[in-house]
Amino acid sequence: MRITVLAGGVGGARFLRGLKAATPDAEITVVGNTGDDIDLFGLHVSPDLDTVMYTLGGGISEEQGWGRDGETFTVLHELAAYGAGPGWFGLGDRDFATHIARTSMLREGVPLSAVTRALCERWQPGVTLLPMTDNRVETRVTLAVKGEGEAGGGTVHFQEWWVRLHAEVPAAEILFTGAGSAAPAPGVLEAIEAADCVLLPPSNPVVSVGAILAVPGIAEAVGAKTVVGVSPIIGGTPVRGMADACLAAIGVDTTAAAVAAHYGAGLLDGWLVDDQDKEAADDPRLAGITVRALPLLMRDLAASAEIARAALTLAAELRSGGGGDEPGAPS
């Protein structure tokens, strides 16, 4: 079985760990969000790709859900002693090595997709991890009010809004700068087209999955497949992170039904919601989307695997019911 997953960071990585456990023999391709990528200290940091790579490769900090296990912070402290900023992004020494290795290859002209493949040779994540694009797409946030330390109250890099400002300053708009002229990375469209189903993990629908879908060609390719998503909202609250702040910026309510309606029936065929959100099945905005309710909290690997299994079961039902392309159909 071939499965393609559009993943952000922590939520996507945990879902993927469950998916691998649920279907060990599947060929899984992960299209990772790179809109959050940021240059820090002259180094190219790819937070979402790294979270997936570290999580599936066994190098993640389990407590945090991101960053390396057993981290130390010598380099960051030393950089602070030089007055080199920013200090608000907590890069550990082990993590720094990844960014040094990545940046070194990028500077030699190696595209991000090939760099990611090289880094994955160490981590052996058991999936094919692709960045959504080799071009630079930057998720930026237009602040609704002047941010602390912001001169014009203009736009800031997503990471600055998310990490430095804790998304406490409301976002007026979320922009994917560069997306319009970006192309899917080599293999991305092919993996989507060859997939038996495309899964959307409970990643941030705006800045993670949304950034990936903003790359021209990806949304169209995904829409042509059987697509099952997992709600990142349980009982009106994001399972993790501050997705509500992102949803508010694009005028979408923080409910499982509203997120599915935002994706739309053109993209989504199936939608897994938590038991407490089962009334989403009756939401008229979700016509054409098959909603199924189950416990959605990814407490542990077993729970994540159960959710992944439910997504695959629903996708199989939808495929056999004609809800999407037949496996292997020409595209």
Our CB check for its own copies shows the closer of 121 and 148 to be 121
Three-state DSSP state, 19:
helix
DSSP secondary structure code for residue 1 in this structure: -
Our CB check for its own copies shows the closer of 77 and 146 to be 77
Residues in the chain: 331
Task: Select the residue interacting with its own copies from 87, 88, 90, 97 (CB under 8 A).
Answer: 97
Residue 287 binds to its own copies (criterion: CB under 8 A): no
CB of 15 closer than 8 Å to CB of 35? no
Applying CB under 8 A, the span of 48-56, 78-86, 302-310, 316-324 interacting with its own copies comes to: 78-86
Task: Select the residue interacting with its own copies from 1, 26, 94, 135 (CB under 8 A).
Answer: 94
Our CB check for its own copies shows the closer of 90 and 266 to be 90
What single letter denotes the amino acid at residue 97?
A: A
Residue 145 binds to its own copies (criterion: CB under 8 A): no
Our CB check for its own copies shows the closer of 94 and 292 to be 94
Task: Select the residue interacting with its own copies from 58, 74, 146, 279 (CB under 8 A).
Answer: 74
Token pair of 132, please? 């959504």
Cα dihedral 183, 187, 189, 193 in deg (nearest 10):
180
Instruction: Give the sign of the dihedral formed by CA 275, CA 235, CA 247, CA 296.
Output: negative
Task: Select the residue interacting with its own copies from 1, 100, 265, 316 (CB under 8 A).
Answer: 100
Cis peptide before 86 (omega within 30 of 0): yes
DSSP secondary structure code for residue 282 in this structure: G
Task: Select the residue interacting with its own copies from 58, 87, 90, 122 (CB under 8 A).
Answer: 122
Residue 101 binds to its own copies (criterion: CB under 8 A): yes
Residue 118 binds to its own copies (criterion: CB under 8 A): yes
Residue 58 binds to its own copies (criterion: CB under 8 A): no
- Report how far apart the first and last C-alpha atoms of the chain are (Å, whole number): 17
Residue 104 binds to its own copies (criterion: CB under 8 A): yes
Minimum CB–partner distance for residue 118 and its own copies (Å): 8
Minimum CB–partner distance for residue 97 and its own copies (Å): 3
Residue 79 binds to its own copies (criterion: CB under 8 A): yes
Please give, one letter per residue, the 3-state secondary structure of 171-218. EEEEEEECHHHCCECCCHHHHHHHCCEEEECCCCCCCCHHHHHCCCCH
Token pair of 136, please? 């630079």
Minimum CB–partner distance for residue 96 and its own copies (Å): 6
Residue 54 binds to its own copies (criterion: CB under 8 A): no
- How far, in Å, are 33, 51, 92, 97, 113 from residue 67 at the CA level? 16, 7, 8, 12, 20
- Positions touching its own copies (CB under 8 A) are 41-43, 72, 74-79, 81-84, 93-94, 96-98, 100-101, 103-104, 107-108, 118-119, 121-122
